[in-house]
Amino acid sequence: MKFRYKVLFTNLILLSVSLGIVGYLMIQKNFELAKETQMENAFTENNLVQSSVEYELLQILNRTDYHIREELAEIGGRVSRGMIIVGSSYYIRYDGEYVYSGDGQEALIGAGLFENLDVGRKNYLICQEGTQHYVYVTSYNLVEDKPLSIITKRNITEIYTLMQTQIWYYRAVLASILLVASAMMYLVSVYLTGPLERLNVITEKIAAGEYDTRAVVHSGDEIGRLAKNYNVMAAAVSAHIDQLQDMIHRRDQFVADFTHEIKTPMTTIIGYADTMRSMNLPREEEIMCLNYIFSEGKRLEKLSGKLFELIYLKQHEIEKKSIHVSDMEHEIIRIVAPALARKKIQFLVTVEPAVLWGNRELLVTVFLNLIDNARKASEEGGVIELRGKKLANGYEMCVADYGVGMSAEEAGHICDEFYMVDKSRTRNEGGAGLGLSLAALILERHGASLLVESQLQKGTTMRVVFQGEQVS
């Protein structure tokens, strides 16, 4: 069942119950008031008849010769003729027997009317006779030590008829009100639940793959806030899906690049090994084949090492401690000096002293990769600089070269796995495009950032910025 119908039926039920209770209480109150009026009239009539009968009876009792039962019957007739009471009649009951009946219906008077009676007090009883309702009121006195009851009977059918008329009228009014209210509440529920229906449509569109669909917010109430929060959620989901798709794309690209990278050395190794296996080669050619097999094997070893370090860093925490930049500088110079010397590259170092918080071996790996990339991009006899300086809120180390440089598009991808600006030169140097990926991951785990500034044929500057909390 739709929410709008739930709202409609719930409101209708509540409205029906509320109006029903209010109507019942009002009709019941009106009936009680009318009944009280009738009862007051009935008691007044009884008092009037009782006074008349007792007055006549006193006149009789002052005589010496009388027969009480016959006298009461005559008194009843005289009083009845002298009083005009529309819709009422009365009876006289003496010593347990009726001595006068105004309508001959004394047999219908219930015995409960005479229970718990005391002298001077009255009792009443309401009875239904056929379709009519009557109220009986009786007085109680003693005459010659025998009970005398004056009973009046008043027709009160009018108040019951009025109550039934009010009930039927109220039912008709209630049905009309509920019919009109149903139409109005339906329109209101459609208006109120319209935004929810639109949100439902938008949800279905997003579920179908239309992730850029958004809700249009027109109000500032709870539904409006729900729509705004829904848009925020949809944007977060869309961004997360984009990230997942990008991750899947990068994973597929990683697998493809990795397959391509190992295919070339494996093809070389298999080819030269097969040549040596199937042919008798001169010693010089055997040495050449073995050299190719050895170099390609070392390349595969280096590739597997880089991959292991990438996987390890992504899955494990790294141990950090205080690192003196000067100590790290000396180790970097010692490691890179032979490779730079072979290419006759001048290495200029100007590093201000500082203490970093991190993993020394991993940070040395970062700068070795940066310097190695600078070496590959530099011509023989070129210059590479390693600079370090304190910042207002951190520390910066730069590796700068004056080599071939790269475009802005290439600079945006150099930290991707297996990405190489100049594939032929990188492979000739023994690289596989994993060095900067590893460096970027290490810096990320240290809370540092890598900034790339490069221009074609003018060189490249790689800036590593450590935040204030990593520097002392």
116: which 2 tokens?
A: 């718990």
The 10s digit of each residue's pLDDT in 350-360 is: 999 999 998 88
Which H/E stretch holds residue 76? helix 68-82
55 with 121: CB under 8 angstroms?
no
Q: Name the pLDDT band for 25 (thresholds 50, 70, 90).
A: very high
The 10s digit of each residue's pLDDT in 9-23 is: 888 889 889 998 999
Name the residue with higher pLDDT: 163 or 235: 163
Q: What number is the average pLDDT over the span 59-84? A: 78
Calculate the CA 363 to chain-centre distance: 46
Residue 366, pLDDT > 50, answer yes
413 with 402: CB under 8 angstroms?
no
Measured between alpha carbons, how far is 472 from 467 in angstroms, rounded to an integer? 10
| Domain boundaries of the chain, sorted by first residue | 3-163, 214-316, 317-470
300 with 431: CB under 8 angstroms?
no
Q: What number is the average pLDDT over the span 398-409? A: 87
Q: What number is the average pLDDT over the span 202-224? A: 75
Measured between alpha carbons, how far is 340 from 295 in angstroms, rounded to an integer? 20
- Look up the CATH number of domain 317-470: 3.30.565.10
Measured between alpha carbons, how far is 292 from 294 in angstroms, rounded to an integer? 5
Instruction: Kindly report the number of other CB atoms within 10 A of residue 320's CB atom.
Output: 16
Q: What pLDDT sits at residue 31?
A: 92
Q: What pLDDT sits at residue 428?
A: 46
117 with 181: CB under 8 angstroms?
no
Q: At residue 355, what is the residue type?
A: V
**Is 3-163 assigned to CATH 1.10.3470.10?**
no
416: which 2 tokens?
A: 């991707």
Worst-scoring range by mean pLDDT, 188-197, 206-215, 428-437?
Answer: 428-437
Q: What pLDDT sits at residue 432?
A: 41
The 10s digit of each residue's pLDDT in 308-343 is: 665 666 666 778 889 999 999 998 998 888 889 989
Worst-scoring range by mean pLDDT, 78-82, 119-123, 411-415?
Answer: 411-415
Q: What number is the average pLDDT over the span 234-246? A: 79
For the chain, helix, strand, coil in percent to 5 are: 60, 20, 20
Residue 233, pLDDT > 50, answer yes
Instruction: Kindly report the number of other CB atoms within 10 A of residue 164's CB atom.
Output: 11
Question: Which of 355, 361, 376 shows the shortest CA–CA distance to 462?
Answer: 376
Q: What pLDDT sits at residue 246?
A: 75
Residue 2, pLDDT > 80, answer no
Q: Is 424 exposed, middle or buried (0-12, 13-18, 19+ CB in 10 A)?
A: exposed
The 10s digit of each residue's pLDDT in 136-147 is: 999 988 888 888
- Look up the CATH number of domain 214-316: 1.10.287
Strands lying side by side in the sheet with 383-391:
346-351, 383-391, 394-401, 459-467, 449-455
Calculate the CA 243 to chain-centre distance: 25
Task: Give the C-alpha distances (Å, rounded to integers) separating 131 from 111, 127, 134, 151, 161.
Answer: 21, 11, 10, 21, 10
**Strand bridging mode 383-391 / 346-351:** parallel
DSSP 429: T
Q: How many residues does the chain have?
A: 472
Q: Name the pLDDT band for 306 (thresholds 50, 70, 90).
A: low
Calculate the CA 435 to chain-centre distance: 46
62: which 2 tokens?
A: 């002052």
Compute the radius of gyration of the chain from its Cα atoms.
56
Q: Name the pLDDT band for 255 (thresholds 50, 70, 90).
A: low
The 10s digit of each residue's pLDDT in 175-195 is: 999 899 888 888 888 877 777
Name the residue with higher pLDDT: 125 or 267: 125
Q: At residue 242, what is the residue type?
A: D
Q: What pLDDT sits at residue 426?
A: 44
Q: What pLDDT sits at residue 217?
A: 67
Whether this prediction's pTM lies above 0.95 is answered by no
